[in-house]
Amino acid sequence: MKVTVFGGGYVGLVTSACLAHVGHHVICVDLDVKKVEMLRQGICPIFEPGLEDYLIDCQREGLLEFTEEPAPAIEHADLIFIAVGTPTDEDGTADTRHVLDVARTVGEHLNDFTVVVTKSTVPVGTADAVKDEMKRILDRRGVDVAFEVASNPEFLKEGAAIADFMKPDRIVVGTSSERVADIMRELYAPFNRNHDRLMVMDIRSSELTKYAANAMLATKISFINEIANLAEHLGADIEEVRQGIGADPRIGYHFIYPGCGYGGSCFPKDVRALQVTAEKAGYQPHLLSAVQNVNYHQKQRLFHKVCDYFNGDLVGKTIAIWGLAFKPRTDDMREAPSRILLEALWDHGARVQAYDPRAMEECQRIYGDRDDLALMGTKEAAVKEVDALVICTEWKHFWAPDLKVLMEKMKRPVVIDGRNLYDPARMANAGFDYLAVGRQGIAGNTLSLAAEKIDTKLVANA
């Protein structure tokens, strides 16, 4: 099929590459001329495992093109995907101005029947707005061209987007037209061979499904973090609690890992947008408010642990941070917990030595050159002569460190683990003061400035 995708960002590139990979002829439109030129050269502007290879291979095979010219791309298309950004507006809603800009552009150049599909995460009712805007432009042109508007939200995880698109859990299509449903079945047939994953529903339900999915996952994260904080007060171990509740198939183990809060481009934005949507519809979403409130405070937890350990005196201290991206397998630092920690440490006079396998350039782009930030080339270099190490991102690169090397390099053997990667008893046996999320702090065989705060009954093998 002939497909045009508007938007050369994360969703647009993954959609373009994966559809071209199975044999559709795809043109991706982006107004950024420099980005288009980079993409033509096979240079991917974002890090996503496997994506750059797909972009290069599909262009070589003549199945994928990039352009900044919308008119020929619209003329080409049986299907047009709108996959442009929907950033958070001032009132917390998703800003759909770019989506409607595309609708107007399509209306200006449309001459034959096509299906326009909203792929971006958009508020309920956006497809109706797209339809109205296109009809207004066509009426102004004085032409009568048939078209349909449908919803087809993406469910892509950063770091696993190619696999998610190629082997989807579900393919949600919002339409009331059998013709459109058949066209979408044909489009997605290569991804739908094992069993039928395509779910057809009304457009507004499709739009809400995307927000509800992300809000549900964010809720699970905030819930386990709330219980983790309670576990610290009650002397329980959240990792044992997690195993106990996850064994229940009604709950499961997914998204119940305690940590330092969720971030990224989706969960924070989408939960906020859904809350505002509910309020505008006359409904007060108490749970969504609580999810965001818990997450806001959870992002402060690592800094408070560092600050408490050093009795509030961080001036002149050097803190190592392992992990800057909001999650592994991406370089995305949007709303990452690391940013809250970095900025709080700087505000209190500390210096940071940081390492991340992928997000170093992004960190440099965000913060520039600073005397109180050193981006180190390895995780070992990051801990040299530091007063404490903080784990912010659970890269597998960090799962099995050489504790002897850490002990030799660190000024103080203090590890504050925001992802619960390590066994507390092992850390204590190796001589580390170890604090995690939802677990009791354990002192090693070293002098801790906060030793009096740690229940001696819980000090294992110190």
- Which of the residues are catalytic? 266
Amino acid identity of 406?
L
**C-alpha–C-alpha distance, residues 407 and 369, integer Å:** 29
Q: Are the CB atoms for 267 and 425 separated by under 8 Å?
A: no
Cβ neighbours of 453 (radius 10 Å): 12
Are the beta carbons of 221 and 437 closer than 8 angstroms?
no
Query: Would you give the end-to-end CA distance of the chain in angstroms?
Result: 66
The answer to whether 208 touches 124, Cβ cutoff 8 Å, is: yes
DSSP string, 181-230: HHHHHHHHGGG-SSS--EEEE-HHHHHHHHHHHHHHHHHHHHHHHHHHHH
Structure tokens at 250: 């009604």
Q: Which strands, in side-by-side order, build the sheet including 351-355?
A: 373-375, 351-355, 318-322, 388-391, 414-417, 433-435
Alpha-carbon distance 250 to 77, whole Å? 44
Given a contact cutoff of 8 angstroms between Cβ atoms, the answer to whether 270 and 214 are in contact is yes
Closest by alpha carbon to 73, among 107, 106, 35? 106
Under 8 Å between Cβ of 407 and 394 = no
Partners of 374 in the beta sheet?
A: 353
Locate tokens 């409904």: which residue? 283
Of the candidates 396, 398, 263, 257, which has an alpha carbon nearest to the alpha carbon of residue 321?
Answer: 398
3-class DSSP state of 322: strand
Token digits for 51?
Answer: 């994506």
Alpha carbons within 13 angstroms on the beta-carbon side of residue 198 total: 20
Both tokens of 255, joined, read 């998204």
Helix ranges restricted to H, 31-69: 33-40, 51-60
